[in-house]
Amino acid sequence: MKTEIVNHQNEVKIDLKKTKKIVEILLSQLNFFEGNILDISFVDENTIKNLNEKFRKIKEPTDILSFSYINSSKINTSNNKQPLLIGELIICPRIAYKNAKKLKHSFEKEIAILIAHGLLHLLGYDDSSTEKAKIMEEKQLELIKKLSF
């Protein structure tokens, strides 16, 4: 899978090479559509707040937003051999940094957790109920254990 990672913020320093390696390790553990594209964008708090309000009707910033195009009209699955955009993860590093500090682990680990969480959403995992959230969290922990933090 081709991953495009873009940093649109300057509030928190992002190591894009390390992030790409984290994504590669996580993707190797998941059953994603090979040959397609995943976009990851790092944005500032104001941008993610605006997106959260627009798409989730929540008027506050969040750490990550996931947009899946896997079961969407945006994916053309007809005999098209062109790579398809299967989803987007939009992450706010400033909130990730605050979360990491609060949870007493590294910023890099928090970014990995958010990416794992977002990838699981793209695959259809849901955390809208306590039961579903527990299943998703167990899978997320399983993925993170494969990384050396």
Q: Which amino acid would we find at residue 132?
A: K
CB-based burial, 41-54: b 16+ in 10 Å, e otherwise: bbbbbebbbebbee
Domain span at residue 57?
2-145
Residue whose token pair is 């998703």: 136
Supply the CATH number for residue 23's domain. Answer: 3.40.390.30
Interatomic CA distance for residues 147 and 134, integer angstroms: 21
Q: What is the pLDDT along the chain (149 residues), one digit of tens a residue?
A: 789 999 999 999 999 999 999 999 999 888 776 778 899 999 999 999 999 999 999 999 999 999 998 765 444 455 556 778 889 999 999 999 999 999 999 999 999 999 999 999 998 999 999 999 999 999 999 999 989 77
pTM for the whole thing? 0.90
Burial of 35 (0-12, 13-18, 19+ CB in 10 A): exposed
> How many domains does the chain fold into?
1
